[in-house]
A and B are shown apart, each in its own frame.
Chain A
Amino acid sequence: MTAKRRVAQLGMLAFAVLIVMGAYASVGLGINGKVPSGMLGYGLGLGGLMLAAYLVLAKWAPWADPLLLPLVTLINGLGLVMIYRIELAGEDLASAANQLMWTALGVVMFSATLIALKDHRVLQRFTYTAGFAGIALLLLPMLPFIGKEINGARIWVGIGPFSIQPAEFAKLALVVFFAGYLVAKRDVLALAGRRLLFIDLPRARDLGPVLITWGISLGVLVMQKDLGSSLLLFGAFIAMLYIATQRTSWVLIGVLLFVGGAFIAGQIFSHVEARFNVWLNAEDPALYDADGGSFQLMQGMFAMGSGGILGTGLGQGYPYKIPLSFSDFIFTAMGEELGLTGLMAILMVYALIVERGLRTSLAARDPFTKLLAGGLSFILAWQVFIIVGGVTRLIPLTGLVTPFMSAGGSALLANWMLIALLVRMSDAARRPPPQAIQDEGLTQVMQR
């Protein structure tokens, strides 16, 4: 990266931190009428962290995309502010200090990934290791003693005082596995098979991994009642399969399999059916009052409706009235206080992160990088779609973390790692190709 670009990136980073500080001050002014006393600490904390991340990035990935870090900083910071705001309102479960600590660990993870992983293509060697690790992580919460069930979903592992959601890390491992596996098998998957009507059907044995993934997804869905993760993984796998093979038939088969599986699950498991029912009839008063009904969903809708176009302003609404306003429903909390305007900005920032990721994928020179970058970008977009669509009633609600915003350590760490991978790949993709030695020789000849 040229010096000018570096200054621009630092400038954008400073701007992101500045916006977050403004939001932080706004919360204090809105609630107490004065700038919060801890503001300097938080400001210096976040600023220092991001400066450290920037320095690591400048040293170990100098050609990296300059937009990724500032964009993520902005979203992470706004999430912190909202959690702080909800904590101030007396919500015991929200802790801005905790979230700041996890953000710091996230930045450490980001830096460590960048420093340790000089060349991401090394990951290709660990394709199957990553696959096994991913499945093991997914199954971890099922184990006795360490597995914990919170809010009806068995997706947690308790280690001492900490609760970790291994699915967040499994997500990364599985994307690495998909990328490695598909790069190796894509020719077979793409070319072999028969043509039936308008679609190319793959060979039965090539269907194996698809079916296994399908099985894992449904297993997660059934055993852990984690609809979100199941949808997330399966969508990511289908998208990557499509990128690798260019065959629409895979997408169709995948979608049919999932819809079929979800339909059967809906018939068998009451909680799946209940989610659909809540989604379709959220405004029904009987369902609103029912246990496990649409109360939470409607609280989020009320919040966004009350926010209107410009929002109430930070610290001036009642986002803490939404259950889980600091985690699953943080997007609706943002909607109340920042309004439609703020939500559009947040969605735009997510879209930009995804766009930078996909651009990296397009610019990458080798298929593994293309697939990994494409997969990671897609899984981010897909996750935003599932959770934001869920809380805004576009699709049925399935619990997932809003990347970088929701309170929660595992997700922050995993997503900072995801960004580190994207940064590493963008660095590789944008690095000018090394000059061939004979070129130099030729030039010398010409000079003479």
Chain B
Amino acid sequence: MNNPLKRVAVACLLMFGLLMANVTYIGAVRAEGLRDDSRNVRMLFARYKVDRGWITADNGKTTLAKTVDTGDKQFRFEREYPLGKPFTHVVGWFAPESASGIEAAMSRYLDGSHPDLVVRRAIDMVSGKPAKGASVDLTLNTKAQEVAYKDLAGTGKRGAVVAIEPKTGKILTMVSVPSYDPNPLAKVDKATVNKAYSKLDKNDNKPLLNRAINLTFAPGSTFKTVTAAAYLSDDESRDENTQVDAPDSLPLPGTNISLPNYHGESCGGRATLLQALTISCNTPFAIMGMDVGYDKLKEQAEKFGVGQPLEIPMKVAASDIGPDEGKAALAKTAIGQQSNQMTPLQMAMVAAGIANQGTVMKPYLVNKIMGPDGAEIDVTDPEELDEAVSPEVAGELTKMMIGVVERGTGGAARIPGVTVAGKTGTAETLPGKPSHAWFISFAPADNPKVAVAVFVESGSAGNDATGGAVAAPIARDVMQAVLG
């Protein structure tokens, strides 16, 4: 009987061989897919086993998000946001099954799963300590951020404020109003989270959206800076003193409607570029837009960053001047109307580009990443996005924008002892609907430290809310906060 016994032994060997091969296939080949399957509850628990890195600002001096050890077995670490509302849209929140803002965009660093942190993690695993993530320090100036939030929320209106350091692209302020308390969303209890979330989700004011980067709006007269940039760059002989036509009313080609100036004001028939921008005449910029043409205007806008995919590290909605729809449309596009749609971040980049002698820096929020042991893992180096205009054109635009603040519509942004350059914007939305109020600016004009875009959304603003009246004072406060 030994021969068949030996064959049965071989059969047993085969069975164990098959089992081992299959277990190896599961444990080694398929492991990652199974582990990361959304139906695998371990994914959820694993998030609470990690001593998630903190989120800070002001070079680590201010804590925006921290991890608290609750001592609970299943959900050991909980997230807290000590500064709350003003920072919600940037910092985001970390909920059981979702996350937003920096919490989402930098999650792999914060939870330590990023390849850069793999050695550290392996050491933690061997020593049996809970995995510790890296800390992320943001570029935010918390003082300016809180001022921006307080001012904007104080208007009782919806809107956004973005401030950028022109020379580097560091985002110093990013506020979206209305905001909300992120803490209930970071609770371990799923029911609490779901309740808080659905309440926010159903809110008509859409507080979950970050208006600074998720939505685009008609930029109105602030866009005249871009049109002026295109016009100045188109011919080197032009400067701020170049005379342009400034009729009281401009018949739009191919239509039977005319484009008036704001509130039907007169700009005197002819004006210098400086004058035209200072009092924000519509007709000269409409003419300039038609003069340079759609392609050049679009190209100019793109050089300021319009339409370029941006990750700061959150994804930014693409701004767009709209399609080429003929001369009449172009005239309106040139003054920031028609299908012209910009994010507040984009308009801050326009101001920052002009401030930085024509060079637009890539905007970013993450200043540096520090390992669990405090060692710097990565420090973000400023990067050029594009050269929007030459330094000469930038200088001319600056002079024009100084005129806006010193003698024109942007007077509310004046800061004693500091030269401020700015541009107001009051964008019509739908007929009969209130306008968007905008203000973009930078200061000090001779050595810019901060560029700001303030946006107050239509419908929430009063009918006569111009950029100069509503938005400019907020920009002033933010610039002052940054300048100290």
- B22–A339 contact, CB under 8 A? no
Q: A374 in the interface, Cβ–Cβ < 8 Å?
A: yes
Across the interface, name the chain B residue whose C-beta is closest to A243: B4
Segment with Cβ contacts to A, from B9-17, B141-149, B272-280, B337-345: B9-17
Q: A381 in the interface, Cβ–Cβ < 8 Å?
A: yes
Q: A120 in the interface, Cβ–Cβ < 8 Å?
A: no
A 376-387 binary contact with B (CB < 8 Å = 1; else 0):
011001101100
A 383-425 binary contact with B (CB < 8 Å = 1; else 0):
0110011001110000000000000000000000000000000
Contacts of B20 in A (CB 8 A): 344, 347
Contacts of B4 in A (CB 8 A): 242-246
- B2–A317 contact, CB under 8 A? no
Q: B379 in the interface, Cβ–Cβ < 8 Å?
A: no
Contacts of A245 in B (CB 8 A): 4
Segment with Cβ contacts to B, from A75-83, A150-158, A298-306: A298-306
Q: A313 in the interface, Cβ–Cβ < 8 Å?
A: yes
- A305–B1 contact, CB under 8 A? no
Q: B416 in the interface, Cβ–Cβ < 8 Å?
A: no
**Once bound together, how far apart are the Cα atoms of A338 and B246, in whole Å?**
80
Contacts of A242 in B (CB 8 A): 4, 7-8
**Once bound together, how far apart are the Cα atoms of A288 and B41, in whole Å?**
14
Which of B7, B11, B26 is in CB contact (< 8 Å) with A301?
B26
- B32–A304 contact, CB under 8 A? no
- A374–B8 contact, CB under 8 A? yes
- A243–B39 contact, CB under 8 A? no
A-contacting residues, B1-44, CB 8 Å: 1-9, 11-13, 15-16, 18-20, 22-24, 26-28, 30-35, 37, 39-42
Q: A323 in the interface, Cβ–Cβ < 8 Å?
A: no
Segment with Cβ contacts to B, from A225-233, A269-277, A354-362: A354-362
Which of A302, A340, A344, A381 is in CB contact (< 8 Å) with B42?
A302
Contacts of A306 in B (CB 8 A): 31, 34-35, 40, 42
- A304–B8 contact, CB under 8 A? no
- A244–B1 contact, CB under 8 A? yes
**Once bound together, how far apart are the Cα atoms of A303 and B40, in whole Å?**
8
Which of B5, B7, B8, B15 is in CB contact (< 8 Å) with A385?
B15
- B34–A367 contact, CB under 8 A? no
Q: A28 in the interface, Cβ–Cβ < 8 Å?
A: no
Q: A142 in the interface, Cβ–Cβ < 8 Å?
A: no
Q: A321 in the interface, Cβ–Cβ < 8 Å?
A: yes
Q: Answer whether A358 and B5 are a contact pair too, CB < 8 Å, given A302-B37, A305-B35, A382-B15.
A: yes
Q: B128 in the interface, Cβ–Cβ < 8 Å?
A: yes
Could you tell me how many residues of chain A have their Cβ less than 8 Å away from some Cβ of chain B? 51
- A389–B26 contact, CB under 8 A? no
Measured between C-beta atoms, what is the minimum distance from A325 to chain B in Å? 13
- B41–A340 contact, CB under 8 A? no
Q: Answer whether A305 and B5 are a contact pair too, CB < 8 Å, given A318-B42, A381-B16, A389-B22.
A: no
Q: Answer whether A309 and B42 are a contact pair too, CB < 8 Å, given A381-B12, A394-B19.
A: no
B-contacting residues, A327-366, CB 8 Å: 335, 339-340, 343-344, 347, 350-351, 354-355, 358, 361-362
Contacts of A358 in B (CB 8 A): 5, 8-9, 12
- A340–B5 contact, CB under 8 A? no
Which of A298, A309, A350 is in CB contact (< 8 Å) with B28?
A309
Q: Answer whether A298 and B8 are a contact pair too, CB < 8 Å, given A343-B27, A384-B19, A394-B18.
A: no
Contacts of B19 in A (CB 8 A): 347, 384-385, 388-389, 392, 394
Q: B262 in the interface, Cβ–Cβ < 8 Å?
A: no
- B42–A394 contact, CB under 8 A? no
**Once bound together, how far apart are the Cα atoms of A148 and B431, in whole Å?**
77
**Once bound together, how far apart are the Cα atoms of A305 and B32, in whole Å?**
7
**Once bound together, how far apart are the Cα atoms of A31 and B1, in whole Å?**
52
- B1–A343 contact, CB under 8 A? no
B 34-77 binary contact with A (CB < 8 Å = 1; else 0):
11010111100100000000000000000000000000010000
**Once bound together, how far apart are the Cα atoms of A29 and B12, in whole Å?**
37
Contacts of B24 in A (CB 8 A): 340, 344
Measured between C-beta atoms, what is the minimum distance from A248 to chain B in Å? 9
Contacts of A367 in B (CB 8 A): 1
Contacts of A374 in B (CB 8 A): 1, 5, 8
A 241-257 binary contact with B (CB < 8 Å = 1; else 0):
01111100000000000
Measured between C-beta atoms, what is the minimum distance from A121 to chain B in Å? 16
Measured between C-beta atoms, what is the minimum distance from A20 to chain B in Å? 20
Most buried by A among B11, B27, B41: B27
Contacts of B22 in A (CB 8 A): 389, 392-394
Q: A130 in the interface, Cβ–Cβ < 8 Å?
A: no
A-contacting residues, B77-93, CB 8 Å: none
Measured between C-beta atoms, what is the minimum distance from A375 to chain B in Å? 9
- A381–B5 contact, CB under 8 A? no
Q: Answer whether A305 and B12 are a contact pair too, CB < 8 Å, given A242-B4, A389-B19.
A: no
Across the interface, name the chain B residue whose C-beta is closest to A358: B9
- B16–A351 contact, CB under 8 A? yes
Measured between C-beta atoms, what is the minimum distance from B165 to chain A in Å? 44
**Once bound together, how far apart are the Cα atoms of A281 and B73, in whole Å?**
35
**Once bound together, how far apart are the Cα atoms of A347 and B37, in whole Å?**
27
Contacts of B31 in A (CB 8 A): 304-309, 340
Q: A371 in the interface, Cβ–Cβ < 8 Å?
A: yes
Q: A171 in the interface, Cβ–Cβ < 8 Å?
A: no
Q: A239 in the interface, Cβ–Cβ < 8 Å?
A: yes
Q: What residues make up the interface of B, taking CB atoms closer than 8 Å to A?
A: 1-9, 11-13, 15-16, 18-20, 22-24, 26-28, 30-35, 37, 39-42, 45, 73, 128
Interface CB pairs A-B, < 8 A, 14? A244-B4, A298-B39, A302-B39, A302-B41, A305-B27, A305-B31, A305-B37, A335-B23, A340-B24, A340-B26, A344-B24, A358-B5, A385-B15, A385-B18
14 more contacts with CB within 8 A, not counting A244-B4, A358-B12, are A244-B1, A302-B35, A302-B37, A304-B27, A305-B30, A305-B32, A309-B27, A321-B42, A335-B27, A355-B12, A374-B1, A374-B8, A381-B16, A394-B19
6 tightest Cβ-Cβ pairs between the two chains A and B: A305-B34, A340-B27, A302-B40, A381-B12, A385-B15, A351-B16
